[in-house]
Structure formats: C-alpha cells, structure tokens
C-alpha cells in the first residue's frame, strides 16, 4: 500500500502543478496560459515585441497577426502577402514590424496597431531570413534568389543588394553596432559584408556542407557557423581565420547561438540534441537530451540562465542553460513546433506550430524555484 508520506508528496505535486505532471526530468506542461487561435494554416513564426506587450505570428495562410500578449485578444490581421509568411521581426523599439514571405515579398507594419507602412520589393524568390539593425533604421533580408538585400526600415526603399552567394541564403544578421552584415548559405559559405557600402569583407568557406546558421559574438570579435557537415566553426570576425572546429554531433547542425559572454556557444542538431561548448577548450560542457526528433531552434533567456529548444516532436523544452538539466516540456501542440521564443523578461514562452495555433506558457513558477 502507499505510505502516508508518499501520498503527501503526490498531493503537494498536484497542488503545485495542477494539470502538469512532475517527472524526474522536469515538469510536463500541457495547459498554456493562452492559446492564440485564428490562423487557418501552419504557423512558422511567433515572437514577443521588445516590451513584451504584443505577440506577432506569421502563417502559411498568407497573413500575420498581432495579439495582445496579456489577454490574447487579436489586435490586427496583417494581410497582403501573396504566399505564406516565412519569418518576421520587430524593430528594437517595437514600433515597426516586418514580415517576409514565400513569394519573395516583404512588408512593413506599425508594430503597435498592425497598420501597413510599406513594402520591400526586389527579391525574386522566397525570403527566409530577416533582421533589423541595432538602431532599427535598416533591415536585411536573405532569399532563395541567392542575394541578401538591405532596406530603409522607415520607407521600405532598397538600399543595396549583397551578391556573391551561389545558393539559398538561410540566415542574416547585423553585428552589434550595425557596421557589418553576416550571411549564411547552402553554397557552403558564410560571408561578412560592409553594411554601409555592401562590399564583401570576408568569405568563410571551410564548410563541408550547407551553412545553416551564423552569428556574431556579443562583442563582434568572433563568428559562429553551423553546418550540415555536423560541425560548428568559430572564426575571427576581423581576419576570417578559423579559430576552432567543434565536433561531436552525429548529424547535421541546424542552429548555433552564442551565450551572453561570447565564450561559449549552443548548437542544435538533427541528432535530436542540443549542446553547450566552451570555445577556448573545445569541450562539450553539456548535452541537452530529450527531444524525440531533430532540434531546429534555440533561444536564450535574457539573463542567460535558461535555454529554449523547439522540435518537430510537437514540443518545446526549457533547460538549465548551464547544466543541461531539463526543467520543463511544453506539450499540447498537435503538430510540429516550428518556433519558440522567450518573453523579454524570460517569464513566458510563445510557441508556434503547424497545428495553426500559438501558445503562451507561464514559466514564472518554474524559474522562481
């Protein structure tokens, strides 16, 4: 028979976590704080505004939606794209939003009301990557037409085209002061460009497969690239010299992310794991194990203590970013989870799924423990 002590533990767990289940490897959360319903097809992106007050979602139904992050009320439906929306971003001040789509189009919106502001016209194929400059005045996009383009964020005017890649561009990013742009391509290279002139500064070409993701370190001195060849590479961002090659994943690496110090990187792989690496030693400091399918997305909380992963196994997961301990599995989506992002204060997560819904998860109890 169950002892009184055992029954007491079960009761306390039930009281603390309600519909959630406490497992040895973290809690399983099945009841989000909000379910954002209204899209009629796959969701590919969901993110909080910089102040945490709004959520932007983008869908294969050709629309984006702006939501009140507190109540879940729909603020606006952003219509105009001819095909599904692949990616989206808020400007650093949250006043402008940009969406990019499968038809090569980009559109600018008022980040508070969702009203249309302008269009980005020039790409001839699907746009998969988009980012604002740190000052919010420019936008860079990366396309399957093998170009990246830089735009005026206020007007949508095309400022320059970055040409040279021989394959689809999978990732784009400005450095911390907005002076350089980093692009990653399936032509097995990453490239660094002068953000003012468009001149190519560096060609990072030692990859044995498609470059899936690229990132500047917080201080801009290093670059990390991930590749389908199963390795992560760290480069000197000034000279382009290869600093180190991090190997240990058993399948292609899909995403790479610096920690806040720039001394470590996180990687996500098709081998169903994420890993934490020390750049100086090349040591794999933690492996994040639990997903049932490949890990396709990484996000780090603002304080750097929590790592968020998303997977086609229908879940997102929250981990101790330092030890690799699984803290929570966010379950309940009916199909693949395509995107997952922290709120600015790190106390909530929004997930986007092929089931057409976004879910907002309250982590306040979890991270206060």
**Residue at 120 is within a domain:** yes
Domain tally, the chain: 1
CB atoms within 10 A of CB 103: 18
Q: What is the pLDDT of residues 318-337, one digit of tens each?
A: 999 999 999 999 999 999 99
How high is the pLDDT of residue 368?
65
How high is the pLDDT of residue 366?
84
* pLDDT averaged per 10 residues in sequence order, the chain, 369 residues: 33 35 70 98 98 98 98 98 98 98 98 98 98 98 98 97 98 98 98 98 96 98 98 98 98 98 98 98 97 97 97 98 97 97 97 98 83
How large a percentage of the chain has pLDDT more than 90?
91
How high is the pLDDT of residue 195?
98
**Residue at 175 is within a domain:** yes
Q: What is the pLDDT of residues 165-224, one digit of tens each?
A: 999 999 999 999 999 999 999 999 999 999 999 999 999 998 999 999 999 999 999 999
**What's the mean per-residue pLDDT of the chain?**
93
Whether the full predicted model's pTM is greater than 0.85, yes or no, is: yes
**Residue at 198 is within a domain:** yes
CATH number at residue 176: 2.130.10.10
User: 233 lies in which domain range?
Assistant: 21-367
């Amino acid at each position: 028979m169950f002892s009184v002590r055992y029954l007491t533990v079960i009761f306390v767990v039930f009281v603390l976590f309600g519909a959630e289940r406490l497992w040895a490897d973290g809690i399983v959360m099945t009841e989000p704080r909000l379910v954002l319903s209204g899209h009629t097809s796959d969701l590919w992106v969901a993110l909080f505004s910089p102040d945490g007050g709004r959520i932007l979602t983008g869908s294969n139904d050709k629309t984006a939606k702006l939501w009140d992050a507190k109540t879940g009320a729909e603020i606006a439906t952003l219509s105009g794209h001819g095909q599904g929306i692949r990616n989206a971003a808020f400007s650093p001040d949250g006043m402008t939003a940009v969406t990019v789509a499968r038809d090569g189009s980009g559109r600018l919106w008022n980040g508070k009301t969702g009203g249309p502001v302008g269009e980005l016209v020039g790409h001839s194929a699907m746009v998969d990557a988009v980012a604002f400059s740190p000052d919010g005045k420019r936008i860079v996009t990366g396309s399957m037409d093998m170009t990246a383009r830089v735009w005026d964020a206020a007007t949508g005017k095309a400022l320059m085209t970055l040409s040279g890649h021989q394959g689809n561009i999978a990732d784009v990013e400005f450095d911390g002061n907005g002076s350089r742009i980093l692009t990653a391509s399936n032509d097995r290279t990453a490239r660094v460009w002068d953000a003012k002139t468009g001149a190519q500064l560096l060609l990072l070409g030692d990859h044995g497969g498609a470059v899936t993701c690229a990132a500047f370190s917080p201080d801009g001195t290093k670059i990390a690239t991930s590749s389908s060849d199963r390795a992560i590479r760290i480069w000197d961002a000034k000279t382009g010299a290869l600093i180190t090659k991090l190997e240990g994943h058993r399948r292609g690496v899909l995403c790479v992310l610096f920690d806040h110090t720039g001394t470590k990187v996180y990687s996500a792989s098709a081998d169903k794991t994420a890993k934490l690496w020390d750049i100086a030693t090349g040591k794999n400091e933690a492996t994040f194990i639990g997903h049932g399918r490949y890990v396709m997305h990484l996000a780090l909380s603002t304080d750097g203590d929590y790592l968020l992963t998303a997977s086609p196994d229908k879940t997102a997961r929250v981990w101790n970013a330092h030890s690799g301990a699984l803290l929570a599995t966010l379950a309940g989506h009916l199909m693949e989870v395509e995107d997952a992002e922290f709120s600015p204060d790190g106390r909530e997560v929004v997930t986007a799924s092929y089931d057409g819904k976004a879910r907002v998860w309250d982590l306040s109890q979890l991270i206060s423990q």
